[in-house]
Amino acid sequence: MLLIRMIILILPYIDQYLNSSPFFMFEPTTLKDIAKALGLSTSTVSRALRDTHEISVETKKIVLEYAEKINYRPNPIALSLKERRTKSIGVLVSEVANHYFSQAIGGIESIAYDRGYHVIITQTHESYDREKINIQHLASRGVDGLLVSLSAETSDTSHLKLLHDRGLPMVFFDRVANDIETHKISANNEKGAYDATIQLLESGRRKIAHLTSSNHLSISIERLAGYTAALNEYGIPLQEEYIKHCPHGGMFQEETEHAISELMSLEDKPDAIFVAGDRLSIGCLTVLKKFNIAVPEEIAVSGFSNSDVLDLFKSSLSSVRQPAYEMGRMATEMLIKLIESKYPVTEFENRVLDTELVIRS
């Protein structure tokens, strides 16, 4: 009777023990280990390693040599807990498989690692919910700052605003939030879009459609403006039915396919498309190929893309290339400056970099 009771009693503990105890023997050495081995206190060891003046030269030497020997590394987690910073920055992009973002991430890492920061990358896949979850995740995980490029679905940025108001440093790149006051870096989207559209116009096209991402994204708005300006310059009126938005930035191929097929079933079919995004550009060409529409004979295509593979073909697609790597570097530098600033920053930069028009037709 008693035995049974006891077993019932300890059952949850057994379960707990098993659950909380994965096999894991990876245990680095600590200050305490050094202190014990050398017959000193942890404080002395800590101070010796940090080269404080109040430790004798001999003791320092002994400690340093021993630490070197056993390859001691301070536990960054303990440090984070104490210093209230993690030496890591969180990155939010729509997807790493996007050429623009993978190049930008290259730039981000190059700076971050030089400055001793870790980079934690998260992907939204253009989903607002995913964005909220990831941001929350990163914040609770205690990143020191955030590099953000909004998802296509995002129109409400209150989840970011809340964190920003509470003092979490953040820098926007590419897809910026207009209602949050902080450093921002983007390409000259309007100019890039203008250039691409002008180039289509110069090549004789007049019925130019515009395939773009969701209409609350900063880049969509700016690129649309450039497109409009170019048409204006040629005295061509804007036609609503020529402008197609993909709310998920072409994450789903059906979206793109639907938009293109609508365009191609218009009475007055377009003879060119200006595409406002990396994924959309590839998606657009894929759909056109599927529909057996000749590019550029039947329809010319020009769009934003950072794919280096496009260079290989004397092909149908002219493209606007953003300085992705440089943008990543700059954004990271700005963020680290924010993070390490001793005083609240009130003046914010809004840097705009030129794009490059690569003509291939």
Partner DNA sequence: TAAATTTGCGCAATCGTTCCCGACAACGTT
Partner DNA sequence: AACGTTGTCGGGAACGATTGCGCAAATTTA
Stretch that binds a second copy, among 29-37, 100-108, 191-199, 206-214 (CB under 8 A): 100-108
End-to-end alpha-carbon separation of the chain, Å? 88
Look up residue 292 and give its amino acid: N
Shortest Å distance, C-beta 39 to a second copy:
26
For residues 28 and 106, which CB has a smaller minimum distance to DNA in the complex?
A: 28
Distance CA 202, CA 230 (A): 11
Residues 6+ apart with CB under 8 A from 293: 264, 299
Tokens at 23, concatenated: 């096999």
Which of 218, 207, 120, 130 lies closest to 173, judged by CA?
Answer: 218
Convert residues 153-182 into a mask of x (bound to a second copy by CB under 8 A) and - (unbound). ----------x--xxx--------------
Task: Tell me: does residue 123 bind a second copy (CB under 8 A).
Answer: yes
Shortest Å distance, C-beta 85 to DNA:
12
Stretch that binds a second copy, among 62-70, 197-205, 268-276, 339-347 (CB under 8 A): 339-347
Distance CA 242, CA 90 (A): 38
Query: Which H or E run includes 61?
Result: helix 57-69
Q: Is 308 helix (H, G, I), strand (E, B) or coil?
A: coil
Task: Tell me: does residue 339 bind a second copy (CB under 8 A).
Answer: yes
Look up residue 118 and give its amino acid: H
Positions that interact with DNA (CB under 7 A): 2, 5, 9, 13, 16, 20, 27, 30-32, 39-44, 46-47, 49-50, 53-59, 72-75, 78-79, 81-84
For residues 94 and 228, which CB has a smaller minimum distance to a second copy in the complex?
A: 94
- What is the phi-psi region of residue 222: left when phi exceeds 0, alpha when psi lies from -120 to 50, beta otherwise? alpha
Binding site for a second copy (CB under 8 A): 12, 18, 20-28, 53, 73, 75-78, 80-81, 83-86, 88, 95-97, 99, 102-103, 105-106, 109, 113, 118-123, 137, 140-142, 144, 163, 166-168, 282, 285-286, 289, 307-313, 315, 339-345
